[in-house]
Amino acid sequence: MKQIKVLNLLFILTIVFLSSCGSDDDFMPPITEIPEILVSASVNGTVVDELGEPMENVVVRVGMNTAQTDAYGVFSFNDIETNKNGTLISINKEGFFNNSKIVFTSADKTSYTKIMLIEKIVTSTFNASSGGAATTSDGAKVVIPAQGVKLESGGSYSGNVNVYATWLDPTADDLGLRMPGDLRAINGDDEAVKLVTYGMIGVELEGDNGEPLNIADGQTATIEIPVPSSLVGSAPSTIPLWHFDEVSGYWIEEGSATLSSNNTYVGTVSHFSFWNYDVPGFLIHIEGLITDTRDNGLSYSRVEVSVNSSGDAGVAYTDHTGFYQGYVPVDELLTIKVFGECQEELYSGQIGPFSADAVIPTIIATSSSNSFLTVTGILNNCNMEIESQGYVLVNNNTQVSVDANGNFNGTVEVCDALEVTISGVSINPFSQGTTTVHDISGLNELNVGTLITCW
């Protein structure tokens, strides 16, 4: 099944940069607290596996609200209480590491996130009384001392220990999907900061009968991660360690690691979760709009911003109006690029440097194939009533969301296609309508009228 792409939902761009934040004169004061602002909003998203394929029946939680993904990996929460400055979405499925994402919301609007689940595979097995080590295929390593584990619920444990470990490459294109949270963190001075990661490792321990285990009281385990060759030149000799708090969605500073002669960070921890090797930094906010030549906001376009001095880059996606936003380093010359559904570069240009928050002038994206299509219509459920808890599927891989009145309007890139397939989908309960084929030769707008979410 192809990967679903959502067209009207806001992504937050976090630029992962590995250079310093500038001179003392450029220093931005730290954000000591991110306030909670409660608004009623909607949150949708997609859960995928490591191949990018949608995952069905994954449990998704936002506060006290629970949902499951449908056949296309899609979940939806409508008109729930959210935190405008960051709402935590948590997902779990047996046999996979838990994952979480932070989503920014706006009152009476819909935000989006995409999350990847990493399969738990036994890395090593050893007896708790003797201790042991586990090394991933990527070179990350966990060393646990003799009699160094306990039952997660409390009490001693003396059987076999199954170690599940996964290293997250800080240079990987899909790091944002794999890692928990959004790199917001609380440092040792209780200040809210953003992190620059040099790598992460997730570790879970289980006993003979699948019982959760953790490091015994008074004991520590050693964790080692490789530093990618492209980052060695900027890697500090000592770096803070941070663990992920699944309740708050923040990374919490706890300890440090040292860079060894073989370009490996080595540190000790007193409990297991996801651990992150990061330098904290302070950023500024940018935002802007991307349109086609007809002034239509370009939905779900990939926006890549890179730091010219280092090449470090971050990626976000536009919402259905073509709006994007995120954080970039202070006083750096930047390159911004826009990519479409056909993997074609639609725009490239220079922005910055910025010493304060900035609004970027509207970017007009152009395609050599002139392949932008605006799809509009109304979605009804099987009872011929307005369906506000559904979406429209274009070419079986692109999702256009609907508003509270069942209306949908999204500009998508259809490459060189002369026709498109379209169907309506209800989320709860799941139901998909008849797939219709539309000739789009010479068209840049397509009104499909009323779609029904059942056969």
Q: Residue 311 domain-assigned? A: no
pLDDT tier at 311, thresholds 50, 70, 90: low
Per-residue pLDDT tens for 47-60?
999 999 999 999 99
Q: Within this chain, do residues 9 and 139 fall inside the same structural domain, yes or no?
A: no
pLDDT of residue 368: 67
- Can you tell me the distance from the alpha carbon of 8 to that of 319, in angstroms, rounded to the nearest whole number? 4
Q: What's the rounded mean pLDDT across residues 13-24?
A: 35
Evaluate if residue 435 carries a pLDDT over 90: yes
The encoded tokens of residue 282 equal: 């302070």
Secondary-structure percent of the chain, ordered helix, strand, coil, rounded to 5: 5, 50, 45
CA neighbor of 87 nearest in space, from 132, 38, 139: 38
Pairwise pLDDT comparison (9 vs 267), residue with the higher score: 267
Q: What is the pLDDT of residue 228?
A: 92
Q: State yes or no: pLDDT of 20 exceeds 50.
A: no
Mean pLDDT, range 127-134, rounded to an integer: 96
Cα dist. 445→242, 256, 324, 326, 439 in Å? 49, 55, 23, 30, 11
**Region 308-334 average pLDDT:** 73
Are residues 230 and 50 in contact, defined by beta-carbon separation less than 8 angstroms?
no
One domain for residues 39 and 88? yes
Element (H, E) at 329: strand 323-329
Which of 365, 212, 214 lies closest to 298, judged by CA? 365
Residue after which a domain boundary falls, among 281, 311, 332: 281
Structure tokens at 330: 């202070």
DSSP three-state, residue 351: strand
Residue 81 sits in the same domain as residue 169: no
Q: What is the 3-state secondary structure (H, E, C) of 223-260?
A: EEEECCHHHHHHCCCEEEEEEECCCCCCEEEEEEEEEC
Q: Does the structure show a pLDDT above 80 at 301?
A: no
Percent of the chain topping pLDDT 70: 89
Q: What is the CATH number of the domain that holds 414?
A: 2.60.40.1120
Q: Which residue has the tokens 């761009």?
A: 13
Percent of the chain with pLDDT over 90: 53
Q: Which of 147-151, 152-156, 192-196, 288-292 reaches the highest mean pLDDT?
A: 147-151
Predicted pLDDT of residue 262: 94
* Average confidence (pLDDT) over 205-223: 96
Residues 188, 260: one domain? yes
Instruction: Please indicate, yes or no, if residue 426 is contained in any of the structural domains.
Output: yes
411 part of a folded domain: yes
Question: Does 27 have pLDDT greater than 70?
Answer: no
Q: With CA atoms as reference, report the closest residue to 62 among 83, 46, 85.
A: 83
Q: Are 433 and 419 within one domain?
A: yes
Distance separating alpha carbons of residues 283 and 193, to the nearest angstrom: 9
Q: If residue 176 lies in a helix (H) or strand (E), which one and from where to where?
A: helix 175-178
pLDDT at residue 19 in the model: 31
In the 8-state DSSP scheme, what is residue 386?
B
φ/ψ region of 59 (left if φ > 0, alpha if ψ in -120 to 50, else beta) reads beta
Residue 272 counted as domain residue: yes
Quick one: which H or E segment has residue 177? Answer: helix 175-178
In a domain, 23, yes or no: no
260 and 378 both lie in a single domain: no
Which is higher by pLDDT, 429 or 88? Answer: 88
Name the burial class of residue 123, with classes exposed (0-12), middle (13-18) and buried (19+) by CB atoms within 10 angstroms of its CB: buried
CATH of the domain at 166: 2.60.220
The pLDDT of residue 340 is 75
d(CA 455, CA 439): 21
Sign of CA dihedral 382, 386, 387, 393: positive
Last-in-domain residue among 118, 136, 166: 118
Measured CA to CA in angstroms, residue 12 lies from 85, 106, 338, 400 at distances of: 11, 13, 15, 19
Q: Is 342 exposed, middle or buried (0-12, 13-18, 19+ CB in 10 A)?
A: middle
Q: Which segment of 267-271, 306-310, 378-382 scores lowest on mean pLDDT?
A: 306-310
Alpha-carbon distance values, 193 to 149, 198, 200, 307, 365 (Å): 32, 16, 17, 20, 33
Domain count, the chain: 3
56 & 199 share domain: no
Range of the domain at 426: 372-452
- 48/15: higher pLDDT: 48
H or E stretch covering 328: strand 323-329
Q: Stretch 63-74: mean pLDDT, rounded?
A: 92
Query: Per mean pLDDT, which range of 4-18, 159-173, 175-189, 426-440 is the poorest?
Result: 4-18
pLDDT recorded at residue 21 = 34
Q: Which of 187-196, 233-242, 314-323 has the lowest mean pLDDT?
A: 314-323
pLDDT value at 202 more than 70: yes
The Cα–Cα gap between 89 and 53 comes to 20
pLDDT for res 436: 93
pLDDT tens for residues 244-258?
999 999 999 999 999
In order, the DSSP letters of 272-312 are -SEEEEEEEE-EEEEEEEEE-TTS-B-TT-EEEEEETTT--
Closest CA to 34 of 100, 104, 112: 104
Residue at 338 is within a domain? no
**Confidence at 360, pLDDT banded by 50, 70, 90:** very high
Examine the pLDDT at 259 and tell me if it is beyond 60.
yes
Mean per-residue pLDDT of the chain:
85
**Of 160 and 302, more confident:** 160
381-434 pLDDT tens trace: 999 999 988 999 888 778 888 888 999 998 888 887 889 999 999 988 889 999
Helix (H, G, I), strand (E, B) or coil at 48: strand
Specify the pLDDT at position 421: 94
The pLDDT, as a whole number, for residue 196 is 78
131 or 307, which is more confident: 131
Side-chain-facing half-sphere of 72: CA atoms under 13 Å: 29
In a domain? residue 419: yes
4 band by pLDDT with thresholds 50, 70 and 90: very low
Distance CA(315)–CA(279), nearest Å, equals 20
Task: Report which residue type is found at 75.
Answer: F
Confidence grade of residue 326 (pLDDT, cut at 50, 70, 90) = confident
Output the pLDDT for position 280. Answer: 83
Q: What is the CATH number of the domain that holds 96?
A: 2.60.40.10
Same domain, 264 and 376: no
Verify that 50 and 164 share a domain, yes or no: no
What does the pLDDT read at residue 33? 63
- 329 domain-assigned: no
**What ranges make up the beta strands (E) of 49-191?**
59-62, 65-68, 74-83, 87-92, 99-103, 110-116, 122-127, 132-135, 141-144, 149-151, 160-168, 184-186
Whether the predicted pLDDT of 103 surpasses 70: yes
Terminal C-alpha separation, the chain? 20
Question: pTM (2 decimals)?
Answer: 0.83
- Of the candidates 355, 358, 357, the one whose C-alpha atom is nearest the C-alpha of residue 21 is 355
Same domain, yes or no, for 96 and 178? Answer: no
Q: Which tokens is 4 given?
A: 């679903």
Domain end, chosen from 118, 141, 164, is at 118
State whether 160 and 204 are in the same domain.
yes
- 131 and 266 both lie in a single domain: yes
